[in-house]
Amino acid sequence: MTETAGAVQNGFVLRMSVPASGELGALGPELGAKLAEQLGVDVAGAAKVGEAMAELARGLESAHDISFVFHKDGAALRIQAQQGDVSRKATVPLGV
């Protein structure tokens, strides 16, 4: 069986884009925290995912969307935020 580009075996990849500011922009960290909860992380750990996303987005241009890529690999969730040529990364231990 072939894998698509960026696929991981026994892992998880999710991509989403949200506005950098405004009411919809606030959904990004909320969705990230909910994703972590679905992966079995407790509420405190899930909050760390939302905090990491907010930190990655801090200082980016408010007029453009931010793309987030979540990559679960083992007991960590890697998060990449990208806006244009700017790319930032964070890793949050899942404690699963």
Q: What pTM does this model have?
A: 0.76
Percent of residues in the chain assigned helix, strand, coil, to nearest 5: 30, 35, 35
Residue recorded with tokens 């899942």: 94
Confidence of residue 44 (pLDDT cuts 50, 70, 90): confident
6, 13 in Cβ contact below 8 A?
Answer: yes
pLDDT at 9: 53
pLDDT at 88: 95
Confidence of residue 86 (pLDDT cuts 50, 70, 90): very high
Does the domain at 12-93 match CATH 3.40.50.300? Answer given as no
* Residue 9 per-residue DSSP state: T
Give 53-80 pLDDT, tens digit per residue. 888 888 888 788 889 988 887 788 889 9
